Amino acid sequence: MTAGPGKNPYRPGAATAPLHLAGREPQMARFKKILAGAPEIPANLRLTGLRGVGKSVLLKELEEIAKVEDWTVVRKQLEPRHNTEEELGSLVTALAQATQRRMSRTQALKAKVADAWLASRGLVNITVDDVTFSLAGSTKVESELAEVLFETVELAVKSGHNGFVLMLDEAQVIRDDKDRDGEHPLSMLVAAINALQEVGLPVALVMCGLPTLRANLQKARTYSERMFKGEHIGELEGNPGAARDAFAKPLAGTGIGADEALITRVLDEVEGYPFFIQLWGAELWEAALETGLATFTTTLLDAIEEQIYSRLDEEFYAGRIETLTPSEQDVLMLSADCPYPPLKTADIRDRSAKSDGNINVLMGRLTDQGVLYRIQKGQYAYTAPKFAEYLQRRARSSGPVAGRGS
């Protein structure tokens, strides 16, 4: 009896690692160098990109690299509820304390490293205490955050690690209020990490998120641009070999292949976006099994392309609109008729009966919710790839948008 082709080799899930991670070798190599340069050069990384480009998958790979390089690591996906000083401080404290408990249970001390650390600890303690007070002013949460991070780094080194890496995914949800008396969770975190790094402690901060993360960091602390190495993760379209590998290599050894015309067409349609490559491959695989075909062909794709787009729209795009208010949805649907890229507020005003002030407020709200990001004054881009085409499909199916109301 002949064995079947096995499980679907494509993985179109959120933050799900593909069987073959293509085109990210340069970023992984640079991260290894960043860690090697610490603590003399702060090992901070800002990882940004659109939805569906594989940021979270790459972040997991960087976590493994840090472990191989003998750093202790904790990784966490942030949520909007963490966007206060109290919530973010509590989260990072809990993560750091859990890391401390793990190290205490599993790591033996390396006497040479421990002795070197303890010999200099008096000076470090004085410095850290001074910095903590200057960081915190009179707020308890800031001083506690600096203290627990210091304790975690201390235990990491005493346990024989090179340092401590804090990795935060979906980090664009953390941003400071414009009001001086408001919440400033991002400033709190960045300042605490920077203070410890200034006195030579081997602590690293990796923040991963949408393109808005860069602007959030710059607004939080003017020195953040110098504090972080930046990696913007894009599609694989500029690297056709990697895009082809991402689609074709998972088929190796499965008994199912793909003809060149089909590969060319898929790569042209998905424009190198890793999530789309995985989705197209997964749907073609299931269709090939159902029809008994041993090769992906353009004829097979013709037969299922409509259902691929239906799944894409439902699983990847629809949720980004359905959680919005009616007014936010209204403006977003109006943008489907605007020239793109970029999306200009002037073009939306031309198509809307809303006031200029109302449109500006709504565009700001769409940016805060991660649907858009601001390129420059009056110009925006969607945070999800090929979102303009989705909005056009949605507009065709639902009819014209009036563009009125608040």
Cα angle, residue 383 at apex, residues 233 and 351 outer, rounded to 5°: 145
CA distance 69 to 64: 9
Weakest mean pLDDT among 105-114, 135-144, 146-155, 256-265: 105-114
Identify the residue with better confidence: 123 or 264: 264
Burial class (CB in 10 A: 0-12, 13-18, 19+), 253: exposed
Give the pairing of strands 379-382 and 343-344. Answer: antiparallel
- Give the pLDDT confidence of 292-303 residue by residue, as tens digits: 999 999 999 999
Helical residues (DSSP H) of 37-110, grouped into ranges: 55-68, 85-106
332-347 average pLDDT score: 95
376-395 average pLDDT score: 95
Phi first, then psi: give them for residue 404, nearest 5 degrees.
-115, 165
Question: What integer pLDDT is reported at residue 386 of this predicted model?
Answer: 95
Residues 6+ apart with CB under 8 A from 50: 210, 211, 234, 273, 382, 383, 384, 385
CA-wise closest residue to 341 among 283, 387, 284: 387
58-86 average pLDDT score: 96
The tokens for 73 are 């690591």
CA distance 379 to 54: 25
92-117 average pLDDT score: 69
Contact 68, 32 (CB under 8 A): no
CA-wise closest residue to 213 among 189, 193, 192, 197: 189
Contact 328, 362 (CB under 8 A): yes
Q: Answer yes or no: is pLDDT of 110 > 50.
A: no
Question: What integer pLDDT is reported at residue 225 of this predicted model?
Answer: 78
Amino acid symbol at 2? T
Weakest mean pLDDT among 141-145, 288-292, 344-348: 141-145
Identify the residue with better confidence: 308 or 4: 308
Helical residues (DSSP H) of 111-259, grouped into ranges: 111-136, 140-158, 185-198, 212-220, 224-227, 240-248
Contact 185, 84 (CB under 8 A): yes
Length of the chain: 406
Q: What does 245-273 look like in DSSP terms, one character per residue?
A: HHHHGGGTTSS-EE-HHHHHHHHHHHTT-
Question: What integer pLDDT is reported at residue 106 of this predicted model?
Answer: 54
332-340 average pLDDT score: 95
Contact 273, 233 (CB under 8 A): no
